[in-house]
Amino acid sequence: MSKLSIFNRRSFLKTSALSVVALSAGLVLPKLSAFASAAKLHNNPLAIPALDMGTKQGNKTIFNLEIQNGETEFFKGVKTKTRGVNGALLGPTLRMKNGDDVQLNVKNSIGETTTLHWHGLHIPAKYDGGPHQPIKHGETWSPEFTIMQKAANFWYHPHLMGKTAEHVWQGIAGMIIVDDEESEKLSLPKEYGVDDIPLVLQDRRFFKDGSMTYKPSRHDIMAGMIGDVPLANGTIEPYFEAKKQLLRLRLLNGANASIYELAFSDNRSFKQIATDGSMLEKPYEINSIILSPGERAEIVVDVSGGNNFMLLSKPVEGGGMMGGGMGSGMMGGSSSREEYGIPFNFLEIRPAENFQKSPSIPSKLTNINWLDEKQVDKERSFLMSMQMGPMAMLGSGKSHTINGKSMDMKRIDETIKLDDIEIWELSNDSNFAHPFHVHDVQFQILSRNGKKPHAGERGLKDTVLVNPNEIVRFIAKFDDFADEKYPYMYHCHILEHEDAGMMGQFLVV
């Protein structure tokens, strides 16, 4: 796919009905520093995914999900083929409570095999929804398990061997909110869709006919499939009217490959209150947050100040590795965004004129049971590598590896004893940052290059970004579920890297 065939964001915006109002009002695309006005730049109301609490059947809560094909009107008058769950694009927010016994009936109606993985949940391997649980077209897969999580945000997405990237790109993904006794008592914004909103952040490329067919180039397999059109809950150029002073955003980086550095256009500070798998012990005040694919964070922002403002991902600095240097070493190959040097404007927030005041948020959110390094039973190390030279043919099984091996579904890479506490040391000798994700457990980051992680990473995690030449150590306990047959996965969450082989599997026995 040549660059010319990719939708050019600027020229598209000029002709797009979405931008006619902005352009006729004499407005231009906002720059990071030039957005401190009450301008209305986005014209589409943010889609809020339907909230699905399941239905009680005896002691069980049942969720009925159908993965299906559909069409989505991203651009006015243009129909784009997409896929979703219980709809044409993305899926409902599933809401569960710690201790719930749930059954998820997942029907596949897309015409080809896929899977649905419950990212971040601590559940038996045979219900994990990974490569070993394919669902054929027309079939229904019905895993059932007990929710054993602290309150946090999880998500679901396909995880079929070699097809994860394509199926996620087409739109199959949704959030899972888990509540617990503790979180329900906290004085936090909690009116879904009003002052408590899930945000699935992604980016896509569109062809001139409006299609977003998944056709990665060789470069995309190396850099990851990075789009030039930002989407929040599948909405292009969305706005949200905030009717209350404090707005709680449940952020999910659901992109195939893009790492986002999220901030507000007026650089206002906000409070991070949760990581991937738990609340933080106390709120952490920051001005920006980095989320790599698969990672989640919850933040609370005060919308006071009188102006509309934008949630954005800061412009990429440094540039992709294909273009030479890696700059800060944070971002991998995002040619489209570099070309324009513009921020990714995810969501315009419009404070309502008479927004309701919110109570301040608590200073104590939870307690985390920190694992003790002295209790460690075993240490393992995982080196993520990429062969970049002309000799490194894609599909040779050598281009994307962990510990020199490319994923093989018939090979078990690690075997862990049930109830063991382990330290995993992650390293990366490639030029790309890789978000390392492990199934089954929520881990605790011990260090980055020997230093304690910053306060925003001191919560439970299941995905962690490992920068080039960085060493990240985490500790985790592999308890509750043993299975001699079905493995769990660990992999890079840049989906093109995962599909190209940067994945391995472990048994807990």
Site of interaction with Cu ion (CB under 5 A): 434, 492, 494, 497
For tokens 């970049």, the residue is 388
Give CA torsion, residues 184, 185, 188, 191, to 10 deg.
Answer: 40
Give the Cα separation of 250 and 152 in Å (integer): 9
**Segment (H or E) for 445:** strand 444-448
Q: Which of 293, 158, 165 is nearest to 217 (CA)?
A: 165
| Contact status, residue 298 vs residue 380, Cβ threshold 8 Å | no
Residue 150 or 491: which CB sits closer to Cu ion?
A: 491
Q: Tokens for 295?
A: 């990672």
Residue 3 sits at φ, ψ, to 5 deg, of -60, -30
Decide whether 199 or 495 has the Cβ nearer to Cu ion: 495
Q: At its nearest, how many Å lie between Cu ion and the CB of residue 221?
A: 11
Instruction: Locate 13 and state its tokens.
Output: 């915006």
Euclidean distance between CA atoms 110 and 208, whole angstroms = 25
- The Cα–Cα gap between 505 and 498 comes to 12
Nearer to Cu ion, 216 or 238 (CB): 216
What's the DSSP call for residue 190? -
| Nearest distance in Å: CB 432, Cu ion | 6
Distance in Å, CB of 494 to Cu ion, minimum = 4
| C-alpha separations of 78 from 71, 216, 219, 228 in Å | 10, 23, 28, 18
Minimum CB–partner distance for residue 435 and Cu ion (Å): 7
Nearer to Cu ion, 424 or 481 (CB): 424
- Closest contact distance (angstroms) between CB of 475 and Cu ion is 22
Between 224 and 277, CB nearer to Cu ion: 224
Handedness of CA 353, 357, 363, 364 (dihedral sign): negative
Which residue, 311 or 494, has its beta carbon nearer to Cu ion?
494
Nearer to Cu ion, 297 or 500 (CB): 500
Beta strands in 376-433 (DSSP E): 378-386, 400-402, 414-416, 420-428
Longest CA–CA separation in the chain, Å:
65
Tell me the closest approach of the beta carbon of residue 217 to Cu ion, in angstroms: 17
Q: Quick one: 49 or 333, whose CB is closer to Cu ion?
A: 333
Nearest distance from residue 293's CB to Cu ion, in Å? 9
Q: Which of 290, 276, 2, 336 is nearest to 153 (CA)?
A: 276
CB of 492 to Cu ion, least distance (A): 3
